[in-house]
Amino acid sequence: MPEKPYLLFSDHLKETFGERVYKISVDAGFGCPNRGAGRDRSGCIFCAPDGSGAVGIERGRSVREQLECGREVMLGRKTKARKFLAYFQPFSNTWAPPAELRVRYDEALAVADIVGLAVGTRPDCLPPEVLDLLAEYARRTYFWLELGLQSSHDSSLDFIRRGHDYATFLSAYQAAKAHGLRVCVHVILGLPGESRAEVLATADEMARLNVDGIKIHLLHVLRGTLLGDLYTAGDIEVLAQEAYVQLAVDFIERLHPATLIHRLTGDGPRELLLAPLWSLNKWEVINAINAEFVRRDSRQGATCRFLTANAETG
C-alpha cells in the first residue's frame, strides 16, 4: 500500500503494540451537563437520544459484559484481533466523582486483552481531582483523553447549544496537557453558518496547540434531534460529498504534521440518519479524500502555519 498523506491513529497503534489494536465502545452509564444525570434533556442539537456515536453498544450490561461482547464480535469478523482499547464513548465519561470513575475504568482494564483506555468527555467535566485521576491512569496504561470541541468559534458553539465556550475548552486542554495526558480533539465540519475560512481557523487553532490527535466528524443530521427538526423544516443544509472532501483535505493540510488523525469522516446510524445519505458509504468518502491528496500532490501539514518548536502545547 502507498504511504498515506496523513498520520493515521491506527498505524500509530500498530507501531506501538506490534499489531492491530481495535476500539470497543462502552456506555458506562454516565450523564452529561447538557443532558442531566438522567440524560433526559435535549443536549447539543446534533446529539441522538442515546448519545453521540452510540452505534452498536450493548446497553443495559456492565462495562465488563459490554467489552467481552464487543471482543467476541471483533473475533467473529475474522479480524485476527487480539488487543483492544476500551472506549468510554457516549455522553460525558468524566462527569462523576473520581471514586465512581475509578470503579468503571478498573472494571475495563480487568477484562482480558484490554490494553488501554480512551475516555470521551467535555471540557466542562474536568475538575482538578478528575485530571489527577486520569493522569494516574495515563501512568498505568495506554491512555487517551478524547475531548469534544466541535468548533473554535463561540458563535457556532452557541448555535449547537454546546453549553461552553472556546475559552473553557482551551483551559481544559491546557490543564490536561499539564497533567501529561494525550488529548484527541473532536471537531465537526459542515456546521450551519460556518464559512470555509472559519473552519480553517479551527484547523489553525489545532495546529497552534499541536494537538496529539484529532477526530474530524462530518455533521450528521439524525431523527429525534433538534438539528433534525431544523433540517426537516428546511432551515439548514448539509455539505455535498465533494464539498466535504475538499474541506477535509484543506483542514488536514493546515494541521501540524505530527498530529494523529483518529477519524476522517463518520457514518451515522442508518436507521436514524436523515442527511447526508452519501455518508453511509464511508470508504467511498475516505477513498475520495485520499484521491484528492494525490491530485493536489499534498499531505498533512502542507499549509501549516505553526511548525516551529514554540507551538503552544499547554
Which residues make Cβ contacts (< 8 Å) with residue 248, sequence separation at least 6? 189, 216, 264, 265, 289
pLDDT class for 310, splitting at 50, 70, 90? Answer: very low
pLDDT tens-digit series, residues 13-51: 999 999 999 999 999 999 998 887 778 777 899 988 776
How is residue 224 written as a grid cell? 429525534
Cell of 154: 463561540
Q: How far is CA 183 from the centre of its chain?
A: 10
Q: Does domain 9-296 have CATH number 3.40.50.10190?
A: no
Q: Are strands 213-218 and 183-189 parallel, antiparallel or unpaired?
A: parallel
In tens, the pLDDT along 65-92 reads 999 999 988 887 767 789 999 999 999 9
At residue 53, the pLDDT reads: 58
Instruction: Read off the pLDDT of residues 216-261 as tens digits, 9 standing for 90 and up.
Output: 999 999 999 999 999 999 999 999 999 999 999 999 999 999 999 9
